[in-house]
Structure 1
Amino acid sequence: MSIPRPVIVRAALLATLLACAPLVGQAKDKDKDKEARPTHRFAVVGNDARADSDDRLKQALADSSEKSVSFVVLTGIKGENESCGDKLYLQRRDLFEHAKRPVIVSLSGSDWTGCRNSAKRTNAIERLNRLRELLYGEPESLGATKIHLTQLSASPRFRSYAENAHWKVDKVLYATINLPAANNHFLPAAGRNSEYEDRAVANRFWLNRLFAMARSDKAQALVLFSEGAVRPFHLDQPAGLRGLLRRAPVERDGFEAARRQIQAQAVKFDGKVLLVDSDAPGGHKPQIAWKGNLGQLSVGTKAVEVNVMLGKNAAFTVVDAKQ
């Protein structure tokens, strides 16, 4: 007795589906593996103002020399007790130029704010300008492998602020902003804050531009590097009449303007906003704290690497932390 043709066809289809099932499963597993892999990785080295930095920086750059690291950000190049002279600045620049991965320097307060001349008078602004000449003369990173940087100094109005730079990796916009520790170099004495005030204007322009770019380019995240901690979750002191009625005067917060601007801009941005600084981490190891789409990673004096995963949303994971 012959088997009906429809039965034969159904049996053949069933056999084909059973044979292909393992292949479909393998394809799904491969897709999951692909999704689980980080899109890229970056390293950030926190500043230790209390220590000499030479050996520490050499070790940190050696530890982050793998090709999987897209770039390394250094939040500072020297300790506060080290020389402010050109000789040290040039030695550190040469060290960074020999690094295997692209190196971007985000200046720290110990690099320039405490510098004094032979008469023991402050020459912080002169030293800051010298660092700009030595470290940011070209719109590119330091290191054996270069990446292009777009600097704020390309804007005629802010030609001095070459240390503020941005670059993009995949769908993440990265940027440095000069916000040093020690209250953003705000000086309480009257008539001494011209540097702070001028830099605040430049930083306000810079932040507006960065968020506008991130929105226009549909970036999945904006990551900002600075030495000083903006403290994005902090609630500022009351203004107006409530502020005047406070019994005790409150010390001026040098980061308040930047913090308020970042908080306001983050609300209007669909992606993540991650602030990376050299403040002491809250726990034993640096970890990212999130509130809504706004995050903070304080690395202290440690060197950390961060995995970046992009998909429906950006995700950041601290994968390594070293002294």
Structure 2
Amino acid sequence: MLNSFPCWNDKPADSACFFMYILALALCMNACSPAKNDPVTFMAIGDVPYHLPEDFERFERLIGALNEEGPDLTLHVGDIKSGSTPCTDEYYEKIKGYFDTFSHPLVYTPGDNEWTDCYREACGGYEPEERLDKLRQLFFSTESSQGKFPIELNRQNSLEGFEKFPENAHWKMAEVTFGTLHLIGSNNNFKLDSGALNDEFYERELANNFWLQRLFEQAEASASKGLVLVLHAALNYNSRDERNGHASFVQLLQEKVMAFGKPVLLLYGDHHRFMVDQPLRDNTGKTLTNFTAVQVFGDWDMHAVRVSISPDYLNLFRVEPFYISGN
């Protein structure tokens, strides 16, 4: 206690004693304040819940564990259902209710199972783009994230010509720019049969590529220390394959990562296996070491990935599995 400091009494303090008191006060305040470089932590999940109804209990256990852990943010990288369960309004509303039980902000980007696969009989025989419209209305109709304490997001639909794409968003946290992009499995809904028009694909491809470029511009303009990209698809990195629905995005991603130079972290789902990789190469075939891709758990493995951000880390991001007891 300061009252026990040796020079502290009812008489005016001499200059030496006053200096010692101020020094002690400063040391106390510094010790009691959080360290400037304490890491900011967020969780990444995806491709859950799949197996119904038993997975609801496991999903609740996952949410409870994350709430107890208390990260600054959770990201859901898409696929809020399996590709063989009904795509009903009631189910989407149930998941929205679950998202709102997170005690911290939750940001979600769509996967393919919740709209492109909904034409299947087991899913209810819906028209996929109608289901996508429903997702946009339910999950992306405000400027805020999900969760009990949402954060404000900058959505792409605020820009002229991109009014259809509220799911693409960006925000900043811990001197890092974050952004969601609507790239999905099922070849990004790029259909290869000769009669396919692919209007939906081409429009969304244009929006995603524009948004990717804008995210790097935002990161540069705000002097961000790094960039986090959030999408669903396990990207096909063969940008020369004309049948690849991810080709133009991957080519642009390579160019932007090379020019940016700072750490870029890509979080995705789709194949349900925790994996950390550095799949991007420069034009000579050399690994782009400032780019790291992390695939989250999913399906039967209902766990999370914990990411910590600190300038003290060699590559800004520290990635580790976060296992949920009982799952």
Q: TM-score range by the shorter chain?
A: 0.7 to 0.9
Judge conservation of contact 2:75–2:106 (CA < 8 Å) in 1: yes
The one of 286, 289, 296 equivalent to 1:292 is 289
CA positional deviation for 1:79: 1.8
Q: Aligned to 2:171, what secondary structure does the other structure show?
A: strand
Q: Aligned to 1:41, what secondary structure does the other structure show?
A: strand
The one of 79, 90, 104 equivalent to 2:93 is 90
Judge conservation of contact 1:288–1:318 (CA < 8 Å) in 2: no
State yes or no: 1:212 paired with 2:212. no
Judge conservation of contact 2:102–2:148 (CA < 8 Å) in 1: yes
Task: Please give the residue correspondences for 1:26-65 in structure 2 after superposition, counting only pairs within 5 Å.
Answer: 34=35, 37-38=38-39, 40-48=40-48, 51-52=51-52, 54-65=56-67
CA positional deviation for 1:192: 3.3
CA positional deviation for 1:78: 1.6
Structure with greater Cα Rg: 1
Aligned to 1:9: none
Percent identity, aligned pairs only? 26
The one of 168, 176, 181 equivalent to 1:177 is 181
Aligned to 1:7: none
Aligned to 2:111: 108
Q: Aligned to 1:65, what secondary structure does the other structure show?
A: helix
In structure 2, the gaps of 5 or more residues are 1-23, 280-287
Question: Given residue 266 of structure 2, which amino acid in structure 1 is its aligned partner?
Answer: L
In 2, Cα distance between equivalents of 1:251 and 1:217: 35
Question: Given residue 92 of structure 1, which amino acid in structure 2 is its aligned partner?
Answer: I
Judge conservation of contact 1:220–1:314 (CA < 8 Å) in 2: no
Aligned to 2:167: 163
Judge conservation of contact 1:106–1:177 (CA < 8 Å) in 2: yes
After the TM superposition, which of the residue ranges 273-282 and 293-302 deviates more from structure 2? 273-282
Structure 2 length-normalised TM: 0.76
Q: Aligned to 1:210, what secondary structure does the other structure show?
A: helix
Task: Please give the residue correspondences for 1:172-251 in structure 2 after superposition, counting only pairs within 5 Å.
Answer: 172-189=176-193, 190-230=195-235, 234-237=237-240
* Distance verdict in 2 for CA 1:271–1:317, change over 3 Å: same
In structure 1, the gaps of 5 or more residues are 1-22, 238-249
CA positional deviation for 1:37: 3.8
In 2, Cα distance between equivalents of 1:281 and 1:80: 13
In 1, Cα distance between equivalents of 2:64 and 2:221: 37
Q: Deviations over 1:255-306 (max 9, x none)?
A: 1111111110111113211111114477xx5335473211111114142111
Aligned to 2:11: none
Q: Aligned to 1:157, what secondary structure does the other structure show?
A: coil
Structure 1 length-normalised TM: 0.77
Q: Aligned to 1:130, what secondary structure does the other structure show?
A: helix
